[in-house]
Structure formats: structure tokens, C-alpha cells
Chains A and B, each alone.
Chain A
Amino acid sequence: MTATATSTAGTRERTAPWSGQSVARKEDGRLVQGQGSFIDDLGMHGQGYAWFVRSPHAHARIVSVDPSRALAAEGVYAVLTGEEAKQMCEVPFFQIAPGAGARIEEWPLAVDKVRYQGDAVAVVLADTRDAARDAAELVDVDYEPLAVVVDGVAAADPGAVVLHEEAGTNVAWHGTYDYGDIDWALESADHVVRIDRLHFHRFSSTPLECNGATVNWDRGSGMVEVKSNLQMPMFAAMVIGPTLGVPINKFSFSSRDIGGAFGNKIAFYPQIAALALLSRKAGRPAKWTEYRTEHMMTSTHGNERTFLDIEVPVMGDGSILGVKVRAYDDVGAYLHYEPLGAVIWSQVVPGCYKMKHVRVDFTTTLTNKCPVSPNRGYSRMQHLWMLERIIDIVAHELGFDPVELRKRNYVQPEDYPYETPNGCVYDSGDLPRSLDIALGLAQVDFWRRRKQELGTGKGKRVGIGIGSTLDSGTNNFGQARIINPDLPFSGNGEAALAKLDLYGEVNINLGTTPQGQSHETTSAQVAADILNMSPEDVTVTVGFDQAHNSFVGFSGTYASQFAVTGLGAVMGATEKLRDQILEVGSFALEAPKEELELSSGTCMVRGDPSRSIPFIGIANLVYTNNAVLPPELRSTVDLNCRYVYVPPFAVPDAEHKTGNLTLTYASQIHVCVVEVDEETGATEIVSYAAVDDCGNRVNPRIVEGQVHGAAALGIGAALYETFDYDEEGQLEQPSFYEYHAGTALDIPDIQSGYLESPSPFTPNGAKGMGEGGGAPLHAVCAAIQDVLGKDDAVVSDSHNSSERVYELLHSADHHRARGVTVVSRPSADA
């Protein structure tokens, strides 16, 4: 069943079922009143404050590091240098890459060489943050600058300066994905559209809260306690454990409230490792709160990808047969989570389209730039942007209507479940209908008339663009084997604990790390429905805590999966708890389980409220009065129910690069209307609509909030936000002075609508969502393309400042290469 409507946020009196309703967020009370526990709110007794000494050079040999002046400064507890840190470690960080990439030796701090501006060479611990900062300036580092490579394509040249000599190359990974028969398609097509180059730029999603951690290496117990705002703590634990020589059960990781993460807080494990060693050396906890410029320069950026020599076979009726392309992913100076970006995109090989023949020659390169790691829409966004650019360029070049061209090529509603050329299975959806809803919400009919009236030369031009995107969620970690067949990873999962506490209180405990995804609220809704009580009476313990034991190796909050894996675990655990309550109730009420029901915190005989026992009575029998229970019940019922949800995945075929790589595919269809100032290139969004289909929505308003947030980040990236490096490898936007993160003033009113196409593969019909960050990049670029004339260059970059749009508007006057050619078969009806 599919339902549709524009969003409403009702305030009516609510009753069960709770799932599917816009229940008010349980989190809001404390978060909006300044009562959250964010990373800088947390600390440990006796802590010192850490400050990293960072390289001003993008590439240099470290001749010497002399901490003596810093050590003499007032308040300084310790200084840890890169070489010292290495001596305290057992092995370099684990590498995901095979071959050359696997040979890279990365340590908690730079040793011998720095490889990007901001690379940390030492870290200072002092009694105040300011004392640490002052002392960091006194650490004398002698550098011998080296040649720099900042271009992700040039970095792959055999003659390029090499960042990691032990690897012998800047190519961290290379592979060819080849599905169908692209050579046949190119020979058989009526038209072949060739695009020279598309470039997806660097940016980041700018969490309000930067990274941070307090780490204590306890000498007595050997326990390493890590309070941080990592969003996937056990990934960090698994990477740094062997390096530090610390077994996982000697770590105690925890994450509380997180002020935005977007994937950016998955991979700052080198800092955690350095802080652990610093604490070990100083004999006291080390607290570090990242500064904004430090964050922008050294935390992480999103993947920058260049697509070269794109060839697109198109039939006369507009059917697009496939695509052939060379892709270069510039991942910066170290491999943090990379080169997984080289496979993650293949969750959406054909995008929203039925193309069958795809060949992608993919190269991951290292450059003297900030390392990348996942950023909202990770890796799929780049690929989907390329596909959407292709659709619009094909439409522009061959004279197709972009709406009709999309509808012709979309996977159709009757095609689901739809298997893609590489064996992924799109679960459900209705893309043509989503597009129609979005066109209506954006009032495209009105804007088409306005576009006609204005035409060109009147100062403003109107452009209309569409962005079709897939938010693939719940990924199969087996796809890592496509990068490295030796990696023993596959599947996915999440854990939850459901518990009655001593006085019968209902508690749900999770291992996830929400950053605005409202896990407290949605978990309570789901549990309340199973226990037939109000979500207000369900307490959800949020934030990761290793001591709670509610985690698996994949726990965290990332990759659009909580609605499936997290809520799947909550459902399983709560159902187990319900069963145990009924078992005890059956004994207490002397009635068969089948005749019992739960209602608002009591267990009763159906139809006979006089025969009931409240949850406090159930808890009493199990926790504090268990001698009255029969032995078989004592041994099987504990009111502490752990459940691990495991999605139904198989191990992918690494050799052929095929398999089901993600469980669900939410879709986002965005429509953007821009007015472009012909004289300046300034682009203003005058109408914007986003239609999201994420299956059954557990809480519609929370879904809408995610849609708005993702759209805002994408709009900011499309028009304002970019990280550029100069030839010396200096970041040109190291602060908000240069990097304009989109604000409320910049983001238009977003008309949001929805479809609900339930997923047949998930416990609740829901799909993970929240990463629709790419759609605005597609839609804004398409809208700008729509204002350009036949002789102008095509929109080939994902970032379009006023100046770039101005250049595009004047590209024909300056006889700039258009960047696209079309070869048609003589018989083809162009």
C-alpha cells in the first residue's frame, strides 16, 4: 500500500498504535534547555588538557622535534612526540586496503614525515587548555619541505611525488567494475554522449560540535576509558586496540549526546590513540576539545571525486543503456575508513535507472590534503550526482524533456523488487509518482510559465532542476571484501536490551549514538506498541556505553540504518520481554498465557480486569521474591532481554564484485527552481520541494526533520561550501570567514512530501533514511544547467559559486570548451 500527502504535524490527543505518529520528541526537553551531555560537558577527575602540535606544511620531512621549551613552561604535564608514540605502540593502524595501501604505516602521530597541513607531530598536556595551547607553540619542530601533490588525478601519475614511501605509490586502490556489456551498448546505441570531466568537490557537513574526547589509561587496572563523541566507537576500538596493545575488554568506550556527526565522527581514532598514549605517559586523563579551525583543517572532509572520459549510450527513444567512466577518488593523506569509498558507491550502480551496462574504472588516490571519511551520503552521493548530471546533459544535448527522460529510465513501480546489474535488490518505491508529487509541490507549472516569459537577456533567468537519489541503508559489510577479499567482514547488526527494572519500570538500552535521529522517541514508540503502554512510560537509555553490553561490532549511528537495525533490535528485545512478563503473569494469575494481555503497565486476564498484576508485581516475583516461583520459571525468566537484529545478507562475490550490498533503498526526489542573475551569476533558490519515500515512517515529523536537515546541507554544499587547496597544499577555507556554511537565511522554504512504499525486507516495513544529502547537489546543478544555452559549457562541477555560474553564462562568448560531444549513428533520428 502506498500513501501520500504533504506533511502535517497534528496536535490531537494521541492513542496507540504509537508507531506512525508524530509523537513529541522525548529528547527535546533536556536538549533545548541546555541539559544535554555533550563532549565538552564531560571530564574526569585530575584531567589535563591536550593540544596538538600541527604541521604548517602540507608535505615535509620532520628533521627534529624538540619539546624542551614546552616542557619548561608553566602548567605543562607532558609532551608526546610522534616518535615516542610509535615506540609505545605494537603495530601501525590496521589498513582496510590490500596491496600497496596495506603497506602504509600510520601511527597515532606523524613520524618522520608530515603529509598534510595540520598533520599532528606532537601533543601537549597541561593544567589548562590555554596553557597547553601556549606550550604547543613552544614545541620546536624543524621541517624540510617536500614537493606537494594536491590533484587526485595527477597523484596517480607514476612520476608524482609519493606520500607514503613504504607503499611506493599514491594509488591506494584500483579496480574495475564491469557489468553487462558496455562495449556492445556503445556500439549499438543511436547516440553516444561523451562528457570530458565531472568533478565532485570537497566539503563537509559542519557539525555544530567539533570532535572531542577525554581518555584515561588507568595504571592500576590497565583499563583505557574513552569518553568521546565518536559515532561508531567500536570501529575505533578495533582499529586502535592492536596498535596500543589493548584488548577490547580493557577498553571502556562511551558516547553521550553528540552535536551533529554526519559520518564525520567515525574516523578520528588517531587522535583517540594519541590521547591514550599521552594519558599513559602523563599518568592522568587527557581531555581534548577540538577547535573549529582544527576541525576544518584536520578532522575530515567528504570524498572528492573526478570522473573522466564518460561515455553514455542512448537510444533514439531516450533509453539510456549504461555508462562507462574512469573515477578518481581523492581521499587525502591517510586511509581512514578508506578505501571503502571505492565500493560503497556500488550500492547504487545504476542509480534510480534501469541501465544495464556499466563499467567504472575506479582509482583511490592519496594527496597532501586532509584525510576524508564518511560524510552524509557517503560515496553514493558522488556517483548519483554523476548519474544525474548525465541524465540532464543527455536531455540538454539530445533535446529530451528532463522529466520525461527520467520517467522513461526510472525503475518502474512494478519492477520491485528490482535487481541491479551488480546484484543489489531495490526493495520498493514509486519514483515516477514521487517526481510528480515533487513537481506539484514546487509549483513547476507556474515556474515554467515564468521561465518562458523571462527567457534570456532580461536580467534574471529561471531554471528548473530535478535531483533523484537513493538513500541505501543497512549496508552489508561484506562489500569490504570487494576492496580486499581477505577481510573477514560481512553482514550487519544491532543490539538492544529490554528490561523491567526492580519496581517494574520499562527500560530500553541501546548501543547507538544518536545525533538528532531521535532514537529515544522512536524506540519508545515501538516498545510501547509491543507492551501496550504509553511511550512516556518507556525509558530509553541513549548513547553508547561499552559497560552496558548492548552493542555488536557494527553498533553506532551511521549509514541510514537505525529504523531497520536499531528498531529491529528493540522490537526483538521487547517481544522477548513481553513473553517473559506473560510467563510470570501466567503463574501469578493462574491463567494460560494465551488468555493474558498487557495494558498500561499491568498484566491481566483478557476481559477480567479484576485478575491482574502490575509490572511492579512481576518484577518483585523475579528480582526480590523468587523463592515463590517454580524452579523452571526461576531458571528461564530474568526480565533482562537482549536481542541482536541481523539482516538477511549473504557474503558478496568479491571476484565479480556482485552481491546484495544494502537491505533498503529509500528514495528522495527533489525539485529545485532557481533564479539566476545574468549579470553576476548569483543563484537564488525560489522554490524547493523534497519528496521522501522511506517506507513506513515510525515518526513522520522526525523523518521530515531529517529531510530538511539533509536538504540544507546539500544546498549549502551546492552553492556556498567548498574546501580548496592551493598549489602548496594550504587550505583556502580554514575558518567560517572563508567557508560559508549555509545558514537559515540561505536555505529556502522546503516543501516536503512523502510516499510510503513499505520495505518487504525489514521487520517493520521501514527503511533507513536521513542521508538524502546528495539530492540538492543534483537538483541545483540541474537547475543551473537549465538556464544555460545550447552553446554554453555544461555544469561540470558540483559546487557552483556565483563566479562559476557567471563563467558558465559567458562560456560561449569566450569560446570555452563545452566539455561534451555527441556522436550519433547516421541512421539515428536526432
Chain B
Amino acid sequence: MLLKSVEYVRPGSVDEALHLLRSNAGAAPLAGGQSLSNILKHRVASVDVLVDISSLDELREIQRRPDGSIEVGACVTYDELDRSLGVRAGHEIIARVASHIEDSQIRNRGTIGGNCCLSDPTNNLPPLLIALDATMHVRSAGGSRRVPVEEFFKGYFLTALEPGELLTSVEIPALPAGARAGYASLNVAADSKAIVRSAARVKVNEVIEEARVVLARVAPVPIRHRGMEEALVGAAPTAESVRAAADTIGEDLEPVADSHGSSEYRRQMARVVARRAVLEAIGQGGGM
């Protein structure tokens, strides 16, 4: 069969979903299905039970808290991220990035949880969530835990989730006072696969006080570039100092080569997109 015959269950609650995931070794959660169904079609994963969590209200909420942080349910779609006033109020950049993911059919189905849990290095949201210092809320039948986003992505198509665990929501703190975010991507074509992308969060108080700079498509998972971050801290928020900081990106990277770009080109471009992301974050460029 195109899709191997599988069992399909639509639980009525997260608890029921967790029970199903725990009691079936071959069970997998199905959210928007934009990645999982492709994986099944290509026969690279074996799943016996699809646990459809897409319509669980508990996973579809966006909460904006008084402190400005937001908690986004794992089954919130890209389109809902784009339209959410709660997201736009303090995290406009998330809405913008979500609005550029593929086409509207996919944005109507694909979810923030799926985008993270697949851990496809070309995905749009993981580098941004790392830059924004998100926390992943994970539950299992046995309890719950919070995973810092930087510990969540483990490798190609691999995350920190253990069997039976479910990502339930993503918590994104408010931007610290004086901080802004930036996002830049070099794509094969308009809104298509990324060759290299970068997300940044930079706090400025006369000088740059804090910087998180994330690069994607240069390693199996999005990575923070500590060298550039360190070079930024204490520097004046100027184009010159950002350029100098970006120049620390170099031989320490050994990006993959594929049909979308050579390793050397990716290394060169990492400097460019990281600089552009930071420039946007300090209000000196357009990003994207």
C-alpha cells in the first residue's frame, strides 16, 4: 500500500493520547500530518497506530500571560500563529516567519509542534525558537517536564522526546526590555527551501548587552554561534561591529553540502544571514 495499513485513533484528551502512546510501541502522534504523512509515504518510518491529536482543544490554545510570555499549544497551526493577536502583540516575528512557510494549504494544516518534533534541519521555526529562548513543555503518562529549547533538537529528525512523550506546548518568554529579534534566510527561491538561515535576539542598552545568534542548515540541528555572540556583547550596535562579529563565523563550521548549496558557500552565507538577522534585531536592517 502507498500508506501501510495502520490503526487510527482520535483520543478525547491529552491524557488518553498519552496512554495510547505509552501502551503502543509503534504509536506516533499525528498533528497536521504535513511531514508524517510524507515520511510514511516514503516508507522511511514504521508506524502501527496514528494517534490524532490535531483536534484536542488543550493543544490548540495560545495563552498570553501578563508578563508578556506566550504559551502556544503544540497543535496550533502556522496560519493560526500568523493570525493570533496574542502572538503578534509581543512576538510579531513568529507570526511573520509562520506566514512564510510554504503555501496556504500547508499553513492551514502544519503545526508548531510538528515543525519542532520532526527536527528537519530546513524547518523554519526551530532556529527562531532557540533565539527566543523558548521552553518546550513535554508530557508523558508518568508526568511532565520542561525542556530548554537548546536541548530539544538532537539531530536529523531526532529530538529529546522519549518514547511515550508528547510535546504539548511551547513557551516563549517576553522579549527582555531593550531586546528585539531578527530573522534572515537565504532560500533556493521565494519561500522555498532554505540554503542557510539565521535567527537572533539582541538586547541593546547603549551597547549590546546580550545576544543569541542561531544558525540553521549548517549543522544537523540549529546551533547558537557563541563566537559571534561573544563578539557582539559589549560592542556598539552598529553595522561595523556586527560585521566584525559575523566574521568570527568561519572554519569552525563544516556545513553539509547538498543539491541546494556547497559546504563552502553555506559557510560564506552563514556570515551574511547571521549579520542580517542581527542587524534586524538592532533595528538596522530588514531581515528575511
Contacts and interface: CB of A to CB of B under 8 A. Distances in A.
B265 A806 contact: yes
Nearest to B195: A802
Given A130-B2, A680-B272, A720-B188, A803 B261 contact: yes
Interface string B253-266: 00000111110010
A745 B265 contact: no
Nearest to A747: B190
Contact of B265 (A133, A720, A746, A803): A803
Interface residues of A, number: 25
Nearest to A134: B1
A680 B188 contact: no
Contacts of B24: none
A720 B259 contact: no
B193 A745 contact: no
B39 to A, nearest CB: 12
A128 B5 CA distance: 14
Given A130-B2, A802-B186, A737 B195 contact: no
Contacts of B262: 803
A129 B260 CA distance: 33
Contacts of A740: 188-189, 192-193
B3 to A, nearest CB: 8
B191 to A, nearest CB: 6
B269 interface: yes
B268 interface: yes
A679 interface: yes
Nearest to B1: A130
Nearest to A801: B188
A680 B258 CA distance: 17
Contacts of A130: 1-2
B193 A680 contact: no
Nearest to B122: A737
Contacts of B186: 680, 682, 802
Contacts of B260: 738
Contacts of B265: 803, 806
Contact of A129 (B2, B189, B261, B268): B2
Chain B contact patch, size range = 10 to 19
Contacts of B190: 743, 745-746
B204 to A, nearest CB: 23
Nearest to A726: B259
Interface in B105-160: none
Contacts, number: 48
Contacts of B2: 129-130, 133
Contacts of B261: 803
Nearest to B269: A680
Interface in A672-720: 679-680, 682, 719-720
A679 B272 contact: yes
A344 to B, nearest CB: 30
A745 B268 contact: no
B272 A733 contact: no
B189 A737 contact: no
Interface in B1-39: 1-2
Contact of A719 (B189, B268, B269): B189
A511 interface: no
A737 B272 contact: no
Given A130-B2, A745-B191, A738 B259 contact: yes
Interface in A123-138: 128-131, 133-134
A185 B261 CA distance: 43
A547 to B, nearest CB: 35
B259 A732 contact: yes
Contacts of A679: 272
Contacts of B1: 128, 130-131, 133-134
Given A130-B2, A732-B259, A720 B189 contact: yes
A733 B195 contact: no
Given A130-B1, A680-B269, A746 B189 contact: yes
A742 interface: yes
A801 B260 CA distance: 9
Interface string A724-745: 1000000011000110101101
B269 A742 contact: no
Interface in B53-67: none
A720 B192 CA distance: 11
Nearest to B265: A803
Nearest to B275: A679
Nearest to A807: B265
A775 to B, nearest CB: 20
A806 B268 contact: yes
Contacts of B259: 724, 732-733, 738
Contacts of B272: 679-680
Nearest to B268: A806
A740 B260 CA distance: 10
Interface string A101-132: 00000000000000000000000000011110
A738 to B, nearest CB: 5
Interface centre among B195, B259, B269 (most CB of A within 10 A): B259
A126 B243 CA distance: 62
B186 to A, nearest CB: 5
A745 to B, nearest CB: 4
A193 B46 CA distance: 60
A682 B192 CA distance: 13
Interface centre among B188, B195, B272 (most CB of A within 10 A): B188
Interface centre among A742, A746, A803 (most CB of B within 10 A): A803
A732 B258 CA distance: 8
Contacts of B191: 745
A761 to B, nearest CB: 41
A301 B2 CA distance: 26
Interface string B237-265: 00000000000000000000011111001
Interface in A1-47: none
Contacts of A134: 1
Interface string A319-330: 000000000000
Contacts of A745: 189-191
A290 to B, nearest CB: 14
A134 B1 CA distance: 6
Contacts of A737: 193
B182 to A, nearest CB: 16
Contacts of B269: 680
A737 B189 CA distance: 12
Interface in B165-192: 186, 188-192
A743 B191 CA distance: 10
Interface string A272-309: 00000000000000000000000000000000000000
A603 B55 CA distance: 67
A76 to B, nearest CB: 14
Contacts of A720: 188-189, 192
Interface centre among A128, A679, A738 (most CB of B within 10 A): A679
B268 A742 contact: no
Contacts of B188: 720, 740, 801-802
Interface in A423-465: none
Contacts of B189: 719-720, 740, 742-743, 745-746
Contacts of A732: 259
Contacts of A724: 259
A724 B268 CA distance: 23
Contacts of B193: 737, 740
Given A745-B191, A746-B192, 11 more contacts: A129-B2, A720-B192, A724-B259, A732-B259, A738-B259, A740-B192, A746-B189, A746-B190, A802-B186, A802-B188, A803-B262
28 contacts: A128-B1, A130-B1, A131-B1, A133-B1, A133-B2, A134-B1, A680-B269, A680-B272, A682-B186, A737-B193, A738-B258, A740-B188, A740-B192, A740-B193, A742-B189, A743-B189, A743-B190, A745-B189, A745-B190, A745-B191, A746-B190, A746-B192, A801-B188, A802-B186, A802-B188, A802-B195, A803-B261, A806-B268
Interface of B: 1-2, 186, 188-193, 195, 258-262, 265, 268-269, 272
